[in-house]
Amino acid sequence: MEADRSLVQSGREEKQSGTNPRESSGQQAVNRPPVLQRSRFAHLLHKNGDRCIFHALTQRMIFGGTVLDNVFDAFAAATPIAAAVDRLSANHPRTLVNQVIDDLSRNGLLIQEPHEDAGVYQKLYRKGWNVYRIQHMYILPTSACNFRCKYCFVEDDQRHLKPEFMDIATAETAIKVFARLCKGVQSPSATFYGGEPLLNPKTTYFALRLLRQMEAQGEFGQGIRISVLTNGSLVDDEAIGVFQETKPSISVSLDGPQLLHDAARVDEHHRGTFDAALAGYRRLQDAGLKPGISCTLNGFTIDHMDEIVDYILEDLRPSGMGFNLLVPQIDGKSNCLGYDQEYATRQLIRAFQRLREAGIYEDRMMRRVRPFLDRRMHLKDCMGVGGQLVIAPTGRVGLCQAFLGVDDKKYFPFDIRQLAAKVDQLTSDDIYAEPLFDEWRHRFPLNMRQCADCFAISICGGGCPYAAEVTEGSIWEVDKRVCSQAKNILDWMIWDTYGHMRSAP
């Protein structure tokens, strides 16, 4: 599969560049500096007798045996190379020691001066500071839903969320404001969310058509990506016709086979919703619309990932899919259907491995896999930290849909009509001038002291600010769910890469 080939290729590149000490040539670098020290961002990992020294920012890595332990320790502080080689050669061949030192130095894992680390960090930091312009819009046609899923934030009674419906005028205004704000953006996108967006079909269908009409008029540059997240139960002939006309990506919420799905996803009468959701999914498939699957992990399903994957592969055959983490309640409680995060990550990795064999690449894992394969920093995990507008049914404008029904004045500080009044001069800077938006856009791991020395900082992105705020009291705290997940996924990817290296011809 494509992802497998990429992982193998990553391993081959390392091998060809001489970064595997077990197969080193023994050649020494020319003009070697007299003194080296370990990079602050170098981390030593162990598994089954093998070692890896990994650079947390650049993702450069060196694999080997016990010699890596000794070299890693020898250069904990600035150390003359000649003295270190003499000392280490008592336990390892001198040619191997020299090659390891050279490999580590070439890959920035051993450095001459601390300013080398600072330069790498600052370059990435500056990029994160300015990484986003407004480029994504959540449209919430309604806060109402015909389901009563036990884990959904919409069902959190502490929010006192009222069913509200967006009118067509508000949707039209929002889309025109968004088009102005994302002028020059390469890949703008819009997501229809809720509640259940198909409970307000008139506005939803109008907005879908308007987005495509404005796209055809060149308002969105090279085009706009549109997605619709639905529970599937209201997909009828009219919906099929509009979707065929406007061609959004459609994702249906299905949590596995019927027994698992119905454990948490119930309607207002506490009846299971599987039959209705599956019927909508099948209608979309039969119409050639290639729907994806959105599957929320919860306490009922986390022990049954094999059954869920079997069902996805054998019965649903989606175009794509994503596993969702539980969103904490507004009082900070993880959720009544919570689970252990490390265990959930192990389950997620196993599911990903099976799905990729069938050519299905799960979104949540791919958020970590892509930056690892590309050796690039995943600076921000959420569009809410500087890249998106969320349009509530009333026309209030915020930065995170999870705060819907909490405190509109704080978390939805704009009114779309207020922004439309100056649309001809409107830029992202006007949005960022609002203190909440300005604070959120600067939240990313490289700007969080407690994250600076984490070995998984390159693939984390900081997780969810909402989760951090409601569980820890501030968006500047760690989202512990994603923190645990990123560390475990990175550890798996590193050793998966090494496995491919060793098996490659």
The amino acid at residue 222 is: Q
Phi, psi at 292, each rounded to 5°: -100, 180
pLDDT on residue 334: 63
List the structure tokens of 378.
């995943």
pTM of the model: 0.89
Burial class (CB in 10 A: 0-12, 13-18, 19+), 15: middle
pLDDT on residue 357: 93
CB 355 within 8 A of CB 321: yes
* Cα–Cα distances in angstroms (integers) from residue 423 to residues 349, 413, 441, in the given order: 45, 17, 22
Long-range CB contacts (< 8 A, 24+ apart) of 381-384?
A: 381/460, 381/461, 381/462, 381/463, 381/464, 381/482, 382/461, 382/462, 382/463, 382/464, 382/465, 383/132, 383/135, 383/136, 384/440, 384/465, 384/466
Burial class (CB in 10 A: 0-12, 13-18, 19+), 234: middle
Length of the chain in terms of residues written:
505
Cα separation, 176 vs 319, whole angstroms: 31
DSSP code of 64?
E
Contacts of 408 (CB under 8 A, 6+ apart): 392, 394, 396, 398
Torsion of CA 488, 494, 499, 501, to 10 degrees: 170
Could you tell me whether strands 189-192 and 225-230 are parallel, antiparallel, or unpaired per DSSP bridges? parallel
Place of tokens 């259940």: 196
pLDDT on residue 409: 87
Could you tell me whether strands 396-398 and 388-391 are parallel, antiparallel, or unpaired per DSSP bridges? antiparallel
Closest to 333 in 3D by CA, of 478, 470, 159, 158: 470
Considering all CA atoms of the chain, what is the largest pairwise distance in Å, rounded to the nearest integer? 78
**Peptide bond preceding 195: is omega within 30 degrees of 0, i.e. cis?**
yes
Mean pLDDT by 10-residue block, N- to C-terminus, for the chain (505 residues)? 26 34 41 91 96 98 96 98 96 96 97 95 92 91 94 74 94 97 92 96 98 97 96 98 98 97 94 98 98 95 96 95 89 75 94 94 94 95 93 96 88 96 93 95 95 96 94 95 95 95 83
List the structure tokens of 309.
């994957």
pLDDT on residue 339: 87
List the structure tokens of 135.
């480029």
Torsion of CA 495, 496, 498, 500, to 10 degrees: 170
Q: What is the DSSP string of 92-140?
A: S-HHHHHHHHHHHHHTTSEESSHHHHHHHHHHHHHHHHT---S-EEEE-
